[in-house]
Amino acid sequence: MLDTTPLLEVSGLTKRFGGLLAVNDIGFSIRPGEILGLIGPNGSGKSTVMKLVMGIERPNAGSVRLAGAEIAGWPTHRIARRGVGIVFQHSRPLHRQTVLENIKLALLPDSLLRLAAEPHVEQRARAIAERVGLGGVLGRRPPTLPFADLRRLEMAKALARDPKVVLVDEPFAGLTPAEVTTFSELIDGFRRDGRAVLLVDHNVKSVAALVDRVLAMYLGQRIAEGTAEEVMRDETVRRVYIGGKIETHPRKGLGVEGREALLEVRNIDVFYGKAQALQQVAIHIDAGEFVSVVGLNGAGKTTLFNAISGLVPFAGDIHWAGESLRGRSPARIAREGIVQCPETRELFGDLSVRENLDLGGQHLSKDERKQQLAWLLGLFPILQERQNQPASTLSGGEQQMLAIARALMMKPRLLILDEPTLGLAPVILEQLSIALGQLRETTPMTVLLGEQNVTFALPHADRVYVLEHARVVWEGDPGRFADEMGAGYL
């Protein structure tokens, strides 16, 4: 008879970091042989929940019960010994030890009196390695392994502790589609073993075929729970991920005939160590176009923009106005007309608004700088009022406007905006939307906009690319997005 008693029970879980309520009254249970998907955009609190269960963080309130025993607030090593294992997103092996030795160390008892492995330990380590697909690399050391094998090693180390409950953090990040299939089968193996699995991810679609239930979080709170299909249809979830009703504003007379091909990204690959951040990504932008690249956090938008700006190495080619950008420094690329406004804004906090703007326009003549400044203060009137105020004292929305204005002071041919709406209040979003609308309708500027918020990105786009797991999975005009990608974006 199937045991329906929960292995893991969480109730009223709450965590504060200073004035920030990161997790607010979260509760769930997981039975043996069940996988619960915990999903939400970055900053929703899902990773904090996982850390609270594992003892990496201590809760301010709430209960965590493992097989009926209260473990909330216990140190991590006690929770691990009691039967909770974790598969980290970022591999943490011992680099001087072989794969086999790393697994054997995880199998050793937690006792200073028993440091030597018993005879069966090596046999058990080899069996675990075979199960996760590491049987052919037992003698190799972690620095020589491909990224997917490092993730397999994390799974092997978790299995070695024979946990009752397994916490899996962002298991598919950086993997190819074929590797995602393989890792899904490995995670499903935990379920077949009768273990309870908490699978933490930001993407509903990634976990839909694997999980039994989904709990969606946003800003520390539960917003939906049910099957993956039910959660994907939930209006609150869709509003959180997409932003609301999708609208488009096509420009009349915007044809492609005779227009200059300004930027061409030709099948580029980017790696961070052994993790592939972009795979054969190709996009093109014509002069005067507004192009939006949409995708959930972690899809590769920032990496794409950093490759274009010369900030990260890449394989493939990027052509700007007919010439390759390979080998050019970020400073030269910026001088030649590609200016990026980063997600992190990178303002000089101790300098005033006016001084930040003057730095952006330092290459201009005095008359050009005066003219450009007057135009920008008209585009962002709040900056006119704040000219003498230190940038660090501005609100988040005002800082975002200043960051965009500083980029525009350079008079770019191509303006790259990376997640400009991140963390902004609705009233600021409206002001930013009006400013972008003016740029689109009244200037010849070309803009490349990266956004998770689809309802902000599409009205300001002539064409749209969708990035998903490091690859472009869709390209088209905004009017087709709702019909062809609206449901699949999650």
Structural tokens at position 258: 């005779």
Task: For tokens 């090593």, name the residue.
Answer: 77
Average pLDDT over the chain, rounded to an integer: 86
Structural tokens at position 465: 């690319």
Strand partners, 35: 197
Residue 227 has pLDDT above 80, yes or no: yes
Q: What is the CATH number of the domain that holds 293?
A: 3.40.50.300
Q: What integer pLDDT is reported at residue 202 of this predicted model?
A: 73
Domain membership of residue 249 (yes or no) is no
Are 275 and 232 within one domain? no
Are 88 and 205 within one domain? yes
Residue 490 has pLDDT above 70, yes or no: no
Q: What integer pLDDT is reported at residue 207 of this predicted model?
A: 82
Burial grade of 354 (CB within 10 A; 0-12, 13-18, 19 or more):
middle
Residue 465 has pLDDT above 90, yes or no: yes
Domain membership of residue 489 (yes or no) is no
Average pLDDT value for residue range 482-489: 66
pLDDT tens digits for range 347-387: 988 899 999 999 888 888 889 889 999 999 888 888 888 88
Are 436 and 288 within one domain? yes
Are 226 and 336 within one domain? no
Are 174 and 323 within one domain? no
Domain membership of residue 438 (yes or no) is yes
Please check whether residue 353 is in contact with residue 395, taking contact to mean a CB–CB distance below 8 angstroms: no
Torsion angles phi and psi, residue 49, rounded to 5 = -60, -45
Please check whether residue 238 is in contact with residue 454, taking contact to mean a CB–CB distance below 8 angstroms: no
Spatial separation of the C-alpha atoms in residues 386 and 391, rounded to whole Å = 9
Are 171 and 31 within one domain? yes
Which spans in 309-425 are helix H? 330-335, 353-360, 366-379, 381-385, 396-408
Spatial separation of the C-alpha atoms in residues 406 and 414, rounded to whole Å = 14
Q: What integer pLDDT is reported at residue 148 of this predicted model?
A: 85
Spatial separation of the C-alpha atoms in residues 210 and 238, rounded to whole Å = 20
Please state, in angstroms and as integers, the Cα–Cα distance from residue 72 to each residue in 55, 134, 136, 212, 411, following that order.
7, 34, 40, 25, 55
Strand partners, 254: none
Instruction: Write down which residue in 213, 242, 271 finishes a domain.
Output: 242
Q: What integer pLDDT is reported at residue 437 of this predicted model?
A: 87
Q: How many residues does the chain have?
A: 490
Q: What integer pLDDT is reported at residue 1 of this predicted model?
A: 44
**Residue 390: DSSP 8-state:** B
Are 179 and 235 within one domain? yes
Q: Is the dihedral of CA 130, 136, 139, 141 positive or negative?
A: negative
Are 223 and 271 within one domain? no
* Euclidean distance between the first and the last CA atom of the chain, given in angstroms as a whole number: 36
Number of separate domains in the chain: 2
Instruction: Spell out the SS3 assignment of 200-247.
Output: EECCHHHHCCCCCEEEEEECCEEEEEECHHHHHHCHHHHHHHHCCCCC
Q: Which residues contact 373 (CB under 8 A, 6 or more apart)?
A: 357, 358, 361, 409
Are 386 and 306 within one domain? yes
Residue 111 has pLDDT above 50, yes or no: no
Buried b (16+ CB within 10 A) or exposed e, 392-414: eebeebbbbbbbbbbbbbbbbbb
* CA angle centred on 231, ends 225 and 232, rounded to 5°: 165
CB atoms within 10 A of CB 177: 10
Domain membership of residue 252 (yes or no) is no
For the chain, what is the total number of helices (H) and then of strands (E)?
A: 18, 20
Q: Please name the helix (run of DSSP H) or strand (run of DSSP E) that holds residue 10, with its range, or none.
A: strand 8-17
Q: What integer pLDDT is reported at residue 106 of this predicted model?
A: 86
Sheet holding 446-451, edge to edge: 338-341, 414-418, 446-451, 290-294, 463-468, 471-476
Provide the 3-class DSSP secondary structure of residue 341: strand
Are 191 and 160 within one domain? yes
Under the banding of pLDDT at 50, 70 and 90, the label for residue 446 is very high
Are 295 and 173 within one domain? no
pLDDT tens digits for range 427-442: 777 888 888 888 888 8
Are 234 and 352 within one domain? no
Structural tokens at position 111: 């006792």
Domain of residue 265: give its range: 261-484
Domain membership of residue 253 (yes or no) is no
Under the banding of pLDDT at 50, 70 and 90, the label for residue 177 is confident
Average pLDDT value for residue range 36-44: 83
Residue 341 has pLDDT above 70, yes or no: yes
Domain membership of residue 248 (yes or no) is no
Average pLDDT value for residue range 237-264: 68
Please check whether residue 198 is in contact with residue 53, taking contact to mean a CB–CB distance below 8 angstroms: yes
pTM: 0.66
Sheet holding 315-320, edge to edge: 275-286, 261-272, 315-320, 323-324
**Residue 250: DSSP 8-state:** P
Domain membership of residue 3 (yes or no) is no
Q: Report which residue type is found at 117.
A: A
Torsion angles phi and psi, residue 44, rounded to 5 = -80, -20
Domain membership of residue 256 (yes or no) is no
